[in-house]
Amino acid sequence: MPRYGTTGRIAIVFAPTVVDPSKPTAAEIAAGTNLSDHVTRDGLKTPSSGNTIDAADIGSRFNKTAPGTYGGDAAEITAHRDSQGTDDLAWNTLEQDAIGFLIVGRAGFNQDTTTGLGSKSGAAKAGDRVEVYPVTVISRAMNDTGDNETSKFTASLAITGEPEQDAIVAAGS
């Protein structure tokens, strides 16, 4: 089973509408904004923590637990700013209160049937593996300045519904 790196391959799209997050269509993804060339290499965070329930009983010295709730963590995107306001794609897309779907193709789009790998700028096609997060942008804030650093910002996104981490792009429009 070959492993792969995401750098230069991962596709990150902010789409306005996805009818069925478990089966987003190529057209829904194409209608979104591809942010892949704007997000920093370590700039995508899609956490999902889990909680446990105390299930211990007096009959054992072991403190047993059971699964509880999960999720509730904000996703984050750290992206570069562009000096031309009209070209500042990530900043203009991830405005506070923007509602949409964060679609992540970690192996890229247009995934090859032999290798399973695609590209960040390819068009999504039926059968591609993706993650779909229904989101609302909570806030966006400029990052601290630094020597030899580009101007960057971080957007925090509320994950407003259960994410589909094993979604498959569906045929159709």
Burial class (CB in 10 A: 0-12, 13-18, 19+), 93: buried
Helix (H) or strand (E) holding 29: helix 26-30
Burial class (CB in 10 A: 0-12, 13-18, 19+), 167: buried
Amino acid identity, residue 129? R
pLDDT in tens, 52-93: 999 999 999 999 999 999 988 999 999 999 998 788 999 999
Rama region for 92: left / alpha / beta (φ>0; ψ in -120 to 50; rest) = alpha
- In Å, what is the CA distance from 30 to each residue of 13, 27, 121, 124, 140? 9, 5, 11, 7, 24
pTM score > 0.85 for this model? yes
Res 1 pLDDT > 80: no
Query: What percent of the chain clears pLDDT 90, i.e. is strictly above it?
Result: 84
**pLDDT, average across residues 109-119:** 92
Query: What percent of the chain clears pLDDT 70, i.e. is strictly above it?
Result: 99
pLDDT at 173: 63
pLDDT in tens, 152-162: 999 999 999 99
